Amino acid sequence: MGTPDFAVPVLDSLVRGGYEIPAVYTQPDKPAGRGRELLPPPLKRAARRYELAVRQPVSLRQPEEREELANLCPDVIVVAAFGQLLPQNILDIPPFGCLNVHPSLLPRHRGASPVAAAILIGDEVTGVSIMLMDRGMDTGPVLAQQEVLLLPQDTTGSLTARLAGIGARLLMQTLPPWLEGKLTPQLQDSSKATYAEHIDKESGWIDWHRPAVELWRRVRAFQPWPTSYTTWKGRMVKVIEAVPLLGDGEPGRVVALGENKPAAVGVQTGEGILGLQQLQLEGKRVMTAEEFVRGRRDFIGALLPC
């Protein structure tokens, strides 16, 4: 059970490992693009490559969905970013339970956006947990964990891809001893739990009163979605890549930074300057800040809304 790209390496590993997969469960196709064409989620496309049966229930709470899943007689269900909470009558079906590949070191960063949360809060280490699911939100006991250093250049996109591969390998190391009864799940210490904040399109709006270091983390955490953005002359400007720098001034004021700096252009913030490295003006391609300013000299000195 899974939906986005994060789930694909898990499926690949299970197939290569010789496990029998009677069905792949994923979310329904969603409209995308200007034509609003229905597009299958990444895990469905991967399942089709392997000619596996695919189920896309809107909800697993329907009795007929529970019955159909039970008829598959799964020994274990592997879950990786499926997008639905599993009700207890689903969790009870497989004798070896439902194992979740979760991209954080539980109980840290429970919830739907753990990778972005690790970047937003400035964690130096994150990782992957293999968890035996229960009815709660990422509250089940843990079978295995692996730590991963969080790099300064990591975005949610790059870190998710890295954790997906690590999670798939960790699952393959964990499944055999679990199925042989050689692993004892370790209860989480809920007193140490943190929860990932909800992220939506509005989360990407840049408040220039925030410190530059915080905005730098947000630029990385919201890449590739929803991206960090501001407006200039009534058009959206996405900040694709940035760097925090020392400096002070009026929050939102665009300044030239001169030569031998990590960025040629910056924006003054509540604490420091956010150096702009890559930008995307609404309707245009991604470009370096130097390219952006070359054709838009009046960007320097502009006061961006907070």
Q: What is the pLDDT of residues 184-194, one digit of tens each?
A: 999 999 999 99
Mean pLDDT of 231-257: 97
pLDDT of residue 241: 98
Mean pLDDT of 276-284: 96
pTM, to two decimals: 0.94
User: Is there a shared CATH topology between the 5-192 domain and the 201-299 domain?
Assistant: no
Separation of alpha carbons 271 and 291, rounded Å: 26
- 5-192 folds as Rossmann fold (3.40.50)
Say if residue 34's pLDDT is above 80.
no
Residue spans per domain, the chain: 5-192, 201-299
Mean pLDDT for all residues in the chain: 96
Per-residue pLDDT tens digits for 141-150 = 999 999 999 9
Confidence of residue 35 (pLDDT cuts 50, 70, 90): confident
Beta bridge partners of 128: 146
Please report how many Cα atoms fall inside a 13 Å half-sphere around the Cα of residue 132, on the Cβ side.
Answer: 19
Overall CATH class of domain 201-299: alpha beta
* Complete edge-to-edge strand list for the sheet that includes strand 142-149: 77-79, 98-102, 125-132, 142-149
